[in-house]
Amino acid sequence: MFWVGLLRNFRTVSPFINGFLPLRLGSVLLLSLSGLFLVTRVTEDYFNGWLLSYGQLLLVKHLLYLPLLFFGLRHLVMLSLKKPRLSEPQLRRSFRAESTIAFFIFIVTGFMSEMEPPHEVLRTLQSEPVSWITQLFIQEPLAQFQLLSFSPGPIGFVLLYLSIIFLLVGLAVLLLTKGTLLSTILMSCLFICSYGGLMTSLTPGEIYIDNTSYSEIEDAIAASHPEQSTIEVLWENVDSDEAYAIYNVNETDLGLEKLTVNQDKFTRIPLSGLVLEGGFSRAGTNGTQTQRFESGTWHNRDFDYTVVTFGYTPLPEANEARIIYSGETVTVPIENQTFLSITSSDDNWYDSHTVEILDETEEVIHSFELDSMSGGFHH
């Protein structure tokens, strides 16, 4: 913001040069590092993230960042000369064009800050719809658990080719001419063609489904973890067509898995695994997780919401878990110090809820509050 404020409000060139260049270089470095962090850490699957509104905004932000860098390069060259090639009115117009692009980036960033970053795209699609913009360009419905593919057609190829031309011509005009209007038009065309070319090249891609059947529940769960991981099933419930299992990983994390059963074989259900990091080694409040579902494999379609609470208690005398939601109180048995509650309702309960651990006499031996109905997942 300091950088953009200087761009829009400077009056004379001479005192502006000394303070502007270090500030601008620092700002560009900070923006670049934050963008790299968003791509590599927050939105790990950048390409398939375009299925979501957050991913769309991130793409727009990055495409706006390119002309911002070009205008910055222009000003770096112009201000580094002993005698600036542009007059003060020309520099002022050029700086204002750059600051306008920066303000658009700030607006996009503001919208992104109000959204939940998608660490795992397919997981997020269990509770959020596909972006209407992405759906508009694909023009055909995606199957459940389906990702994107990049396959440029004639229109996409032409737009991407034009974007390269606008990039080269726009950069040449910025560095070799004094005008700002033509440069702004070329940068706008670069953004439109780049975005249009990328989006028109999207097609439905791979459907993520693992149909492998396993003789043991441990083997089915272990298939989704690194080979060196040690899986210990703490509790399981198997019926004719479904199975549930609570387990620990390396005696550290606590997991819950839902599987299908067919002829005594177990098959993992895509996107059904819940995991609580450190939930086994750091039991108590940290050993319990609640997740609310409005769609997906855990959701009961006869109701608007399904709430799943699972946990591990270090207390061997624990007999029952009483979960006090804002709209209902549920009591479930504790077996091998683990418990699972799956409750559906048409009411959207508050996130805050209480978990009480009871002994055989129904005395409360431990109680804690949870203020969230969201958590981590595992493929």
Radius of gyration (Cα) for the chain, nearest Å?
A: 27
**Domain coordinates in residue numbering, the chain:** 2-207, 213-378
Q: How far apart are CA 178 and CA 93, in angstroms?
A: 10
User: Nearest to residue 35, comparing CAs of 131, 119, 109, 104?
Assistant: 109
Q: What is the pLDDT of residue 1?
A: 47
Q: Note the pLDDT of residue 5.
A: 47
In three-state secondary structure terms, 228 is coil
d(CA 30, CA 343): 46
CA–CA gap between residue 44 and residue 355 (Å, rounded): 33
Which tens digit of pLDDT belongs to each residue from 230-247? 999 999 999 888 999 999
**Is 344 within 8 Å of 300 (Cβ atoms)?**
yes
Q: Which of 110, 119, 114 is nearest to 61 (CA)?
A: 110
* Cα dist from 159 to 5, 46, 190, 191, whole Å: 34, 21, 9, 10
Grade residue 27 by pLDDT with cuts at 50, 70 and 90.
low
Q: Are 355 and 288 in contact (CB under 8 A)?
A: yes
Strand, helix or coil for residue 321: strand
pLDDT tens per residue across span 292-338: 988 778 889 899 999 999 999 999 999 999 999 999 999 999 999 99
List C-alpha distances in Å: 64 to 20, 37, 110, 280, 289.
Answer: 21, 17, 15, 45, 39
Per the prediction, the chain carries an average pLDDT of 83
Q: What is the pLDDT of residue 86?
A: 67
Residue located via tokens 């651990």 = 357
Measured CA to CA, the distance from residue 369 to residue 355 in angstroms comes to 6
- Residue 197 reports pLDDT greater than 90: yes
68's CB contacts (< 8 A; 6+ apart) are 98, 101, 102, 105
Query: Is the pLDDT assigned to residue 213 strictly greater than 50?
Result: yes
In the structure encoding, which two tokens stand for residue 142, read together? 């995606």
Q: Identify which has the larger pLDDT, 23 or 372.
A: 372
Distance between the two ends of the chain, CA-based, in angstroms?
A: 40
Residues 6+ apart with CB under 8 A from 213: 262, 265, 266, 267
